[in-house]
Amino acid sequence: AQTVTQSQPEMSVQEAETVTLSCTYDTSENNYYLFWYKQPPSRQMILVIRQEAYKQQNATENRFSVNFQKAAKSFSLKISDSQLGDTAMYFCAFMSGETDKLIFGTGTRLQVFP
C-alpha cells in the first residue's frame, strides 16, 4: 500500500522569504502522480502543483516549485516570495496510476508572518 509522509506538522516563514515543505512517499508503482494541495480556513482544497512521475523535470507554477527525487521518493514544495495569503494547510498527495486513488499525507500547517 502507498503511504505519504509529511514530517513537519507546522512551519512558519516571514513574508517575502522562501520556505520548503517536505514530503516523502512509498510505492512500488512506476506510474503515478504527485500533488500539493493547499487548504485555507475555508476548507476548499486548492491544487497548487502537480508532477508526473515519468517526468524528470521539476514542475513549477509561478512562486511554487517542487524538488522531485524519484529514487529517494521525495517530493518537496518550495514557496518563494511567501505571501500572507499562503497561510494554510498544505497536503502532499500521491495518486496511483493504476487505481487513480489520491492518498494524502497528514499535512503541514504553514503560517506566513508579516
Partner 1 sequence: GAVVSQHPSRVICKSGTSVKIECRSLDFQATTMFWYRQFPKQSLMLMATSNEGSKATYEQGVEKDKFLINHASLTLSTLTVTSAHPEDSSFYICSALMWVEGNTIYFGEGSWLTVV
Residues 6 or more apart whose Cβ sits within 8 Å of residue 31: 53, 54, 97, 98
CB of 111 to partner 1, least distance (A): 15
CB of 65 to partner 1, least distance (A): 18
Closer residue to partner 1 in complex, CB, 13/102:
102
Q: Per CB under 8 A, does 64 bind partner 1? A: no
Residue 86 — φ and ψ, nearest 5°? -80, -10
CB of 30 to partner 1, least distance (A): 14
Q: Per CB under 8 A, does 50 bind partner 1? A: yes
Interface residue with partner 1 among 25, 37, 75, 90 (CB under 8 A) is: 37
H helices of 10-100, where?
A: none
Helices (H) and strands (E) in the chain, counts: 0, 12
Residue 57 is given by DSSP the state: S
Residue 85 — φ and ψ, nearest 5°? -70, -5
How many whole angstroms from its chain centre is CA 41? 18
Interface residue with partner 1 among 22, 45, 65, 111 (CB under 8 A) is: 45
Q: Per CB under 8 A, does 35 bind partner 1? A: yes
Closer residue to partner 1 in complex, CB, 79/105:
105
CB of 43 to partner 1, least distance (A): 5
